[in-house]
A and B are shown apart, each in its own frame.
Chain A
């Protein structure tokens, strides 16, 4: 069990603090508190004490990877009993988590009392008793015991088996390693070859294209001039005939 303690002073009279305490939620700091319900409330006019049982609903404070152990519900519940003693100007609030309480219990006690030295101040005291439950420890112990047992049973058998596996793997690894190296060498060579080929092919093709283009252009030129020449000749013949 671990104990957490803290004390503070509020610069407000006890009456204000005790009244504000009922309207503490919602506030922008404690956003994990999503709901507050009054389950039971009793007032004793003789002692002037007011006892209240509340249900505080929080968003699950645990990491999501743990939620599969606790269940998928993302709500967690806290039960709180408070006693307001008007005559002694004291509020005592005791709370405990109901969700996950088989694993971990947090008993919190909060007291608001009038500061005896300054009536305009209120003293705040908080104590939390945190207990990880025996069931959890026992569960861990059992898993550990089982693991140790299994280790003992299998250790000698396993040694022999593992040795042979290691030997086999070692052989394979050595063979594999040399194969890998040569394979990598091959890949490297192939890559350079391919690149070289691509370069060569490209320049050949480009050269060919150039040459072809030149040939075509030359041909086109020649053909054009021939046609033009023919057209010219034809035209002059027609012109001659016409005259």
Chain B
């Protein structure tokens, strides 16, 4: 496992993303995998990161295609596509 961390699609969000990722990876191995977790930790860091993401998703015009993809394969459905119209 390399120590390199992936970047955000928006360079402005990379720092926030990496802070969140570090927190999440720790939670995942130390708590989630060990069955010790009772809630989704690192939420505060993620909210800061998400605010940045939302701004740039809109700015870079990714939002419309994301909305479409979400309606086709909802998060609540685990990403399984809903019935195709055609």
State the A residues within 8 Å of B (CB).
Answer: 15, 18-20, 22-23, 25-27, 33-43, 45, 48, 50-51, 53, 55, 57, 75, 77, 79-84, 86, 92-96, 98-99, 101, 107, 134
Number of interface residues, chain B, beta carbon within 8 A: 41
State the B residues within 8 Å of A (CB).
Answer: 1-2, 4-9, 13, 17, 20-21, 24-25, 28-29, 32-33, 35, 37-40, 46, 49-50, 53, 62, 65-66, 68-70, 72-73, 75, 78-81, 86
Q: Return 26 A-B CB contacts under 8 Å, by A number.
A: A19-B28, A20-B1, A23-B5, A34-B9, A35-B9, A37-B9, A38-B17, A39-B53, A40-B75, A41-B40, A45-B37, A57-B9, A79-B66, A79-B70, A80-B79, A81-B73, A83-B78, A83-B79, A84-B32, A86-B33, A86-B35, A94-B73, A94-B78, A94-B79, A98-B65, A107-B81
Which residue of the partner chain B has the closest CB to A89?
B33
Q: Contacting A22 at CB < 8 Å: which of B24, B46, B69?
A: B24
Interface of A is mostly: strand
CB distance from A126 to the nearest CB of B (A): 15
**A77:B73 contact, CB within 8 angstroms:** no
Which residue of the partner chain A has the closest CB to B74?
A81
CB distance from A96 to the nearest CB of B (A): 6
> Complex Cα distance A75/B5, Å?
20
Q: Which residues from B are CB-within-8-Å of A80? A: 79
> Complex Cα distance A38/B53, Å?
9
Q: Which residues from A are CB-within-8-Å of B72? A: 96
